[in-house]
Amino acid sequence: MELSMVDSIVDSHNRKTWALISILQDIQKEDGYLSQEVLRRVAERMDIPLTRLYEVATFYRSLSLIPQGKHNITICSGTACHVRGSNRILNELTRHLEIEPGGTTEDGEFTLNVVNCLGACAIGPVVVIDGKYHGKMTPSKTMDLLEKCRSKE
């Protein structure tokens, strides 16, 4: 990301400390993660110690210091989805993709994330692939969707 863009995101939030998480999220939305260079720039522009930024960027689940894969798979692990078997989907995906939640496959294709709840409990278990919700999922239906993602390319 151009550093001028970092500046404009920081400025659009009036450099307020209470908006720090929003600022970092907005930056991450562009790049998929927070690079060292970007964090340094934010620290400078907001006049916040870099250590503090690092503290924040590593504490909150929505912020990542690692680049994300081409496709984002998010499994809802809310209680409603859990009692309807989301764990089986997660186990199957970690085994198949050989990554743990939060990780990205070696070929950079998939990032696997787990979210606490998406509030779409009526259609649980829910799997979100690249922003699209898929309800009433099973391990096999999820595998089919991954194959579709791959074959699209």
Partner 1 sequence: MKRLESIKDLDKLRESIIEKNNCYQKTITICGGPGCHAIGSEDLRANFEREIKERGLADKIRLIFSGCHGFCEQGPLAVIRPEGILYCKLRMEDIVPIITETLVEGKIIDSLLYEDQNVGKVVYEKDVPFYRSQKRLLLEQNELVNPTIIDDYIANGGYMAFGKTLLDMKPDEVISKIKDSGLRGRGGAGFPTGIKWESCRKAKDETKYIICNCDEGDPGAYMDRSVLEGNPHLVLEGMLIGAYAIGSETGFIYVRHEYPWAWENAGIAIKQAKELGLLGENILGSGMNFDIDIARGGGAFVCGESTALVASLEGRAGEPRDKQHLHTVESGLWEKPTNLNNVETWANVPFIINNGADWYSQIGTAKSKGTKIFSLVGKVKNTGLVEVPMGMSLKEIVYDIGGGTPDGAEVKAVQTGGPSGGCIPGNLLDIPVDFDELTKAGSMMGSGGMIVMDIKTCMVDVARYFVRFLKDESCGKCLPCREGLKRMDEILTDIIEGRGTMGSIDLMEELALVMTDASLCGLGRTAPNSVLSTLKYFRDEYIAHVIDKKCPAGVCTSLITYSINEENCTGCGACKRNCPYEAIEGERRKKHRIIPELCQKCGICLDSCKFDAVEVS
Four-point Cα dihedral 75, 103, 92, 76, nearest 10: -10
Q: Smallest distance from the beta carbon of 104 to partner 1, in angstroms? A: 18
Contact 119, 81 (CB under 8 A): no
Tell me the CA distances in angstroms from 100 to 58, 92, 96, one per residue in order.
17, 11, 10
Residues that bind partner 1 (CB under 8 A): 16-22, 25, 48, 52, 55-56, 59-63, 77-85, 87-88, 91-92, 95-96, 115-124, 126, 133, 135, 138-141, 143
Q: Smallest distance from the beta carbon of 93 to partner 1, in angstroms? A: 10
- Specify the residue, 2 or 27, whose C-beta has the smaller distance to partner 1: 27
Helix, strand or coil for residue 57?
A: helix
Q: Smallest distance from the beta carbon of 48 to partner 1, in angstroms? A: 7
